[in-house]
A and B are shown apart, each in its own frame.
Chain A
Amino acid sequence: MPDPEQVLRKYPHELSGGMRQRVMIAMELSCRPDLLIADEPTTALDVTVQGQVLTILNDLVRRLGISVLFISHDLGVIAQLCDRVSVMYAGKIVETAPVARLFAEPAHPYTRGLLQAIPSLDEERDSLRVIPGIVPRLVEPPGGCRFHPRCAARFAPCDRLVPGAVEVGPGHQVACHLYGKPEAGKRS
């Protein structure tokens, strides 16, 4: 933060979005926590300012040895910052893997769909792969696997049985019937 002495004497409305988020980071780190939960910390910021804030946050937590639960819908940010990734859909974690593995070998159909649905700066595609349908309302989530109504790979057990997490590689778990047995005794 440039000129911190002067910033100390200011009210939040006098600061820019990037500065406010920096103040938040300072607050959270001031008592040296073991865990920092960062909930979409840069979604409200412009991309050039987001870059600055993420760089600061990343440098600080790595230097201080703090663990971070980084919550984001931006796969680019996740790819650049995180070590491990859990993918959540309609209230359930469907896949967890080391970051390189998740992007290289996504196992769950939802993760695959998500990775193909983002337009990329590095490649040309005429039309984007789409996950059909809409995100279900959590008041009455679909039975069985919650992703089954939108899943192109669904088969017999998907609408009846909740899939359990299966290890498909080192540190890589996926909850999908394509890879294993249903969660013992769980039916819906």
Chain B
Amino acid sequence: MTPVIEAIDLVKHFPVHGGLLGRRVEHLRAVDSVSLTIHPRETLGLVGESGCGKTTLGYLILNLLRPDRGKVLYRGTDIGALQGEALRRVRRNLQIVFQDPQSSLDPRMLIKKTVGYPLEVNGMARGEEVVARVKSILTEVGLDEEHMYRYPHEFSGGQRQRIGIARALITGPEIIVFDEPTSSLDVSVQAQILNLVKELQQRHGYSYLFVSHNLSVIKHVSHRVAVMYLGKIVEAAPRQALFERPLHPYTRALLASVPKPDPGKRHTLGVLSGDVPSPVNVPTGCRFHPRCPEMKEECRHVVPSGVEVEPGHWVACHLYSPEKSQRSQKERFDATRP
């Protein structure tokens, strides 16, 4: 199956000015050599803690930010190389739903205008046709047609997020990036939005990149999951493999830290010590080593490369590096000799 999106070795660093008069320039390494693919009709969940670069990666994939290095292929076309009309034509297939529906909707714009605008910008429809398409898309996301004559402040948070989804859907995209779409919503409303997102995919075959820090939400919506830590993807696997057989010590810690909603199963919550380091001062070697319970000497100096441990299950950790497993196999072999 050809992927709809192929991101190859993406790098994005942001300059940060520090020191006296802001002359010292450091780099915030938001995304550092990340590759991923998204297949048709698939939801790739991207999970990680705040500041690990999830949102930046989403923006890079949509070409809302330009990478310092690497490229993004949409159905084989390098979208970074496109300009003008060609870029616009590709862009209508790539849409985003933002985290905060309050600030991502213009408070002075009627919903009709907000939702219909992408059609006008892309020259896809005009006049009555826009109105008709807005009506049908609002119904599709569970709102009423009359809602198009209202302003954002007249809606609840969940309804505003439905408007955000309608705006993303109206150009008939193929890929939608959801950037923490439910983190500002009440749990009872979150469930409504998650169900809607899944139904829309089943109905129309969209591909999703679903960004969230909430592991339960990621598990609920994703087919495959990538775990990000400080600008790097440390593990990626089909949903079930990742949640049943997490390999990277960080993924394991993340799963163990989620408080279970079951008072009969009380568990240790503080499994990891230390704070997430700043992406400006990234630790050497494996970025997770200062917090890792299984840290070895080489983890301090050598960046681990990705290994496919079982089909589709990738991990970047020295515990699983091929030289290592060969060596330990050899040691085991030697030990069994008389």
Contacts and interface: CB of A to CB of B under 8 A. Distances in A.
SS of A interface (majority): helix
A134 B158 contact: yes
A129 interface: yes
Task: Choose among A47, A56, A78, A130 the residue with the greatest number of B CB atoms under 10 Å from its CB.
Answer: A47
Interface in A19-62: 19, 46-56
B189 A55 contact: no
Interface string B257-276: 11111111011111111011
Contact of B219 (A47, A100, A121): A121
A49 B273 CA distance: 8
Interface string B177-198: 0000000001111111011001
Nearest to B255: A121
Interface stretch (A63-71, A109-117, A159-167, A169-177): A109-117
B253 A75 contact: no
Interface size class of A (residues with CB under 8 A): 35 or more
B263 A100 contact: yes
Task: Choose among A73, A79, A115 the residue with the greatest number of B CB atoms under 10 Å from its CB.
Answer: A79
Contacts of B199: 127
Interface stretch (B8-16, B26-34, B165-173, B209-217): B209-217
B100 interface: no
Contacts, number: 133
A80 B188 contact: no
Nearest to A74: B259
A151 to B, nearest CB: 12
A77 B187 CA distance: 14
Interface string B236-280: 000000010000000001110111111110111111110110000
B159 interface: yes
B220 A128 contact: yes
B308 interface: no
A26 B107 CA distance: 42
Nearest to B217: A119
A11 to B, nearest CB: 16
B21 to A, nearest CB: 19
A178 interface: no
Given A100-B263, A117-B190, A128-B191, A55 B219 contact: no
A51 B188 CA distance: 24
Nearest to A17: B275
A127 B195 contact: yes
Contacts of A54: 259, 269-270
B156 interface: yes
Nearest to B240: A124
Given A73-B186, A113-B188, A130-B188, A120 B159 contact: no
B104 interface: no
A80 B269 contact: yes
Nearest to A128: B191
Contact of B216 (A49, A115, A121): A121
Interface string B267-298: 11111110110000000000000010000000
A99 interface: yes
A41 to B, nearest CB: 13
B27 to A, nearest CB: 20
Nearest to A136: B156
A121 B269 contact: no
Interface of A: 16-19, 46-56, 73-81, 99-100, 102-104, 113-115, 117-122, 125-132, 134-135
Interface of B: 49-50, 156, 158-159, 186-192, 194-195, 198-199, 213, 215-217, 219-220, 243, 253-255, 257-264, 266-273, 275-276, 291
19 contacts: A47-B258, A48-B257, A50-B257, A50-B269, A55-B268, A79-B259, A79-B261, A79-B262, A80-B269, A81-B259, A103-B264, A117-B190, A119-B216, A119-B217, A121-B216, A122-B260, A122-B262, A130-B192, A135-B186
